[in-house]
Amino acid sequence: MVKPLYKVSKQLMDVVQGKAYADTVITNGTLVNVVTGELIEGIDVAMKDERIAFIGDASQMIGEATLVVNATGKYIAPGLMDGHMHVESTMFSVTGFSEAAVKKGTTAVFMDPHEMANVFGIEGVKRMHEEGRNAPIHVFTTFPSCVPATDGLEDAGAKISVEDVEEGLMWDGVVGLGEVMNYPGVIHRDEKMIGEIEATLKQGYQPTGHFPEGTIEDLTSYLLSGVTSCHETVTKEAALEKLRFGMTVMIREGSAWQDVKEVIKVITEDQIETDHLMLVTDDIYPETLINQGQINHVVRRAIEEGVDPVTAIKLATLNTARYFKLDDDYGSLTPGKVADIILLDDLTSMDITDVFVKGNQIVKETQLIKETPAFVYPKHYYQSVNVGKVLTAEDFYFNTTHQQSVNINAIEVIENSARTKKKVVELPINNGIVESDLSQDVIKLSCIDRHHKTGQISNQFVTGFHIKRGAVASTVAHDSHNLLVMGVSESDMAVAANYLSDIGGGMVCVLDGEVIASVPLPIAGLMSDLKEADLLRQVEGLKAGWVRLGSPLHAPFMTFSLIALPVIPDIRISNRGLVDVTTFSLIETICSEEC
Ligand SMILES: [Fe+2]
């Protein structure tokens, strides 16, 4: 954490009053002032003891030991802040993510370690939070609120209780409650949800929200609970409705969900006051992070849609800091603020050349110049895949007493959508086993409890991936992150599942008994300990592996990782069986008469 301003006030004044020299001075740039909305040319920024001492002509504050960075022809802007994101989606550890993100101009994130919470509960949240404390950027935590996502339909690795939230809110750097996605629970006054929100409000922190759709009464009830924001808004009209009620709208641009184009119209078409708008990434994949950017990409998208660049930057700096009640220290370049600063050649590309965090230069001419030592997780974080047995092809057979053929409820995935549909298909039976049918693009899909060594397995059928051979598996399986396996060949399915058990989790493609591609994610089965180039190479190899198995889908392993999420309609797999999300109940795989 940074030292409070009052502890360094005298040293900062010494610089301004000619009694000491600055540690670092950035000279002659164009200042992006997000407080006034101005661009001011010919500005120097003098830094001392992690903070900004002076803005203006700082030539008298440069001593022999002062680092001078010439910003002639460049813009000097506040470091960018991402108000809501899940580090686990990037597949990097917090350290690896931070190193990749700071090169894109991100100097602060507000992470919700929801995925880790589903595997290791409060202990996992604490570890990620501790890792964030050592990261090269400011990593604030919003404590996960909805773990597990549902009751009685699946088995996660852990649960989060009101007491856990109360404890987590006491940790230095926890500044809010993570997205309260169980909005029906809040509206129906679920004791746990209300208790978590109450605990957060008592600490003076923000309960962050997740309200995709509902009546005006539902939205109002949600706000009356104390939740203050939402990052699930996908239309201009819904954004306006929320803003008019005082809700902060976090406009999201992630890898899969891209809402800027539509929601930003509240600014470009309706010229709405921007104080309650923020930009966030929510979930971005490694390729997006490395090739397109992090929150700088969202700012870029807002500018592309017609938002004035200074306003767009304000949506990812001052507004973010103000929402989390941290704007006394962060979010603008004014005297006394923490010296989180980015330099850019122009304000439309949002390509960042240099980054300072707490007055220290971390990125110079787009290159990271300071490495952070790896954070060491305890051994059991590398042993989180506990199936309890070695799997064989027989474990993936769907046995039946029916003869010849049978109608079954298959899960149909939709490309580029988190939604699924129920599809009734007739499948052949061979020796008492229901078989896949490639002519209908129907293959096997299994979900195995990987948390409790029960070996519990649910065998189902899926259509839409167009896999024609082999098998794939993943321990990234939102939200419970059980072991998902899918394929044409049961023996390849067993090889894939056993491989991930052996390496501690990740994603894998198997063909004819051989692993043809994999992304090991040994930290809780969710995150890699590799740095960016190595991880990106593995992800690209995995994509090629899926193509080799016959799938033409864009980012199929991401669609795959959502197939066990029993809160998005219509039909999902869990370790307990087939979940009808429209009724929140487990249903039979084999159709009854009414199917
Ligand atoms: Fe989220």
C-alpha of residue 89 to centroid of ligand 1, in Å: 10
C-alpha of residue 208 to centroid of ligand 1, in Å: 10
The one-letter amino acid at 472: V
C-alpha of residue 327 to centroid of ligand 1, in Å: 23
C-alpha of residue 348 to centroid of ligand 1, in Å: 27
Query: Same domain for 351 and 448?
Result: no
What protein residues have CB closer than 5 angstroms to ion ligand 1?
179, 282
- 428 pLDDT above the threshold of 80: yes
Half-sphere exposure of 531 (CA within 13 A, CB side): 7
Residues 6 or more apart whose CB falls under 8 angstroms from that of 432 comprise 399, 400, 401
CA 220, 222, 226, 232 torsion: positive or negative? negative
**Which of 329-343, 416-430, 523-537 is predicted least confidently?**
416-430
**Which of 210-219, 409-418, 586-595 is predicted least confidently?**
586-595
C-alpha of residue 283 to centroid of ligand 1, in Å: 7
Count structural domains, the chain. Answer: 2
- What domain range is 445 assigned to? 380-587
**pLDDT at 592 (0 to 100):** 75
pLDDT tens for 276-306 read: 999 999 999 999 999 999 999 999 999 999 9
Look up tokens 């759709």; give the residue: 213
Q: What would the mean pLDDT of 226-241 be, rounded to a whole number?
A: 96
Q: What would the mean pLDDT of 357-379 be, rounded to a whole number?
A: 96
**pLDDT at 567 (0 to 100):** 81
- 416 pLDDT above the threshold of 80: no
DSSP string, 563-593: TT-TTSSSEEEETTEEEETTTTEEE-SB--T
**Cα–Cα distance, 51 to 47 (Å, whole number):** 6
- 418 pLDDT above the threshold of 80: no
Q: What would the mean pLDDT of 522-545 be, rounded to a whole number?
A: 95
DSSP state of 168: H
C-alpha of residue 426 to centroid of ligand 1, in Å: 37
C-alpha of residue 230 to centroid of ligand 1, in Å: 9
Q: Which residue has the higher pLDDT, 360 or 595?
A: 360
C-alpha of residue 279 to centroid of ligand 1, in Å: 13
pLDDT tens for 507-516 read: 999 999 999 9
C-alpha of residue 140 to centroid of ligand 1, in Å: 15
CATH number, domain with residue 303: 3.20.20.140
The answer to the question of residue 463 being in a domain is yes
C-alpha of residue 114 to centroid of ligand 1, in Å: 8
Tally of CB atoms within 10 A around 229: 26
Look up tokens 């001593």; give the residue: 63
Q: How many residues does the chain have?
A: 595
C-alpha of residue 251 to centroid of ligand 1, in Å: 12
pLDDT tens for 469-528 read: 999 999 999 999 999 999 999 999 999 999 999 999 999 999 999 999 999 999 999 999
Q: Which residues of 452-478 are buried (b: 16+ CB within 10 A; e: fewer)?
A: eeeebbbbbbbbbbbbebbbbbbbbbb
C-alpha of residue 85 to centroid of ligand 1, in Å: 6
Query: Same domain for 202 and 317?
Result: yes
**Cα–Cα distance, 351 to 291 (Å, whole number):** 11
The answer to the question of residue 303 being in a domain is yes
The answer to the question of residue 250 being in a domain is yes
Q: Which residue has the higher pLDDT, 559 or 30?
A: 30
pLDDT tens for 447-461 read: 999 999 999 999 999
Q: Which residue has the higher pLDDT, 554 or 24?
A: 24
Query: Same domain for 335 and 389?
Result: no
C-alpha of residue 32 to centroid of ligand 1, in Å: 29
Tally of CB atoms within 10 A around 340: 33
C-alpha of residue 39 to centroid of ligand 1, in Å: 33
Q: What would the mean pLDDT of 427-434 be, rounded to a whole number?
A: 95
C-alpha of residue 387 to centroid of ligand 1, in Å: 28
**pLDDT at 189 (0 to 100):** 94
C-alpha of residue 86 to centroid of ligand 1, in Å: 6
CA 437 to chain centre: 36
Domain boundary among 371, 404, 425: 371
Instruction: Give the mean pLDDT of the chain.
Output: 96
C-alpha of residue 485 to centroid of ligand 1, in Å: 25
CA 390 to chain centre: 32
Domain boundary among 343, 371, 399: 371
Domain boundary among 312, 345, 371: 371
C-alpha of residue 295 to centroid of ligand 1, in Å: 14
C-alpha of residue 587 to centroid of ligand 1, in Å: 28
Query: Same domain for 462 and 367?
Result: no
C-alpha of residue 479 to centroid of ligand 1, in Å: 11
The answer to the question of residue 201 being in a domain is yes
User: Are 362 and 95 a contacting pair, CB within 8 Å?
Assistant: no
C-alpha of residue 299 to centroid of ligand 1, in Å: 18
C-alpha of residue 506 to centroid of ligand 1, in Å: 21
- 138 pLDDT above the threshold of 70: yes
- 251 pLDDT above the threshold of 90: yes
Q: What would the mean pLDDT of 238-253 be, rounded to a whole number?
A: 97
Q: Which residues of 282-317 are buried (b: 16+ CB within 10 A; e: fewer)?
A: bbbbbbbbbebbbbbbbbbbbbebebebbbbbbbbb
Whole-Å CA distances, 252 to 259, 283, 291: 5, 9, 18
**Cα–Cα distance, 124 to 111 (Å, whole number):** 13
- 150 pLDDT above the threshold of 90: no
C-alpha of residue 50 to centroid of ligand 1, in Å: 31
The one-letter amino acid at 52: I
pLDDT band, residue 256 (cuts 50/70/90): confident
C-alpha of residue 423 to centroid of ligand 1, in Å: 29
The answer to the question of residue 54 being in a domain is no
C-alpha of residue 179 to centroid of ligand 1, in Å: 6
Stretch (H or E) spanning 286: helix 286-287
Query: Same domain for 394 and 316?
Result: no
Could you tell me the maximum CA-CA distance found in the chain, to the nearest angstrom? 92
C-alpha of residue 129 to centroid of ligand 1, in Å: 17
Burial zone of 527 (CB within 10 Å; 0-12 exposed, 13-18 middle, 19+ buried): buried
Query: Same domain for 364 and 387?
Result: no
Closest CA to 83 of 118, 59, 107, 48: 107
Query: Same domain for 232 and 356?
Result: yes
C-alpha of residue 447 to centroid of ligand 1, in Å: 23
Closest CA to 159 of 191, 192, 181, 186: 192
Query: Same domain for 349 and 457?
Result: no
pLDDT band, residue 569 (cuts 50/70/90): confident
Query: Same domain for 132 and 270?
Result: yes
- 415 pLDDT above the threshold of 90: no
**pLDDT at 173 (0 to 100):** 97
Query: Same domain for 327 and 400?
Result: no
pLDDT tens for 51-107 read: 999 999 999 999 999 999 999 999 999 999 999 999 999 999 999 999 999 999 999
C-alpha of residue 307 to centroid of ligand 1, in Å: 24
> 542: which strand partners?
none
| 363 token code pair | 């990125």
**Cα–Cα distance, 156 to 153 (Å, whole number):** 10
**pLDDT at 566 (0 to 100):** 86
Burial zone of 190 (CB within 10 Å; 0-12 exposed, 13-18 middle, 19+ buried): middle
**pLDDT at 594 (0 to 100):** 59
Closest CA to 264 of 210, 315, 218, 207: 315
Tally of CB atoms within 10 A around 416: 10
Closest CA to 136 of 376, 377, 378, 373: 373
The answer to the question of residue 402 being in a domain is yes
The answer to the question of residue 86 being in a domain is yes
Whole-Å CA distances, 143 to 168, 222, 577: 7, 19, 30
C-alpha of residue 400 to centroid of ligand 1, in Å: 40
CA 286 to chain centre: 11
Query: Same domain for 392 and 328?
Result: no
The answer to the question of residue 1 being in a domain is no
Stretch (H or E) spanning 101: helix 94-102
**pLDDT at 593 (0 to 100):** 65
- 595 pLDDT above the threshold of 80: no
C-alpha of residue 55 to centroid of ligand 1, in Å: 37
Query: Same domain for 410 and 349?
Result: no
User: Are 231 and 210 a contacting pair, CB within 8 Å?
Assistant: yes
C-alpha of residue 282 to centroid of ligand 1, in Å: 5
Closest CA to 470 of 500, 494, 450: 494
C-alpha of residue 60 to centroid of ligand 1, in Å: 47
Of all residues in the chain, what percent carry a pLDDT higher than 90? 91
**Cα–Cα distance, 15 to 62 (Å, whole number):** 9
Of all residues in the chain, what percent carry a pLDDT higher than 70? 99
C-alpha of residue 367 to centroid of ligand 1, in Å: 29
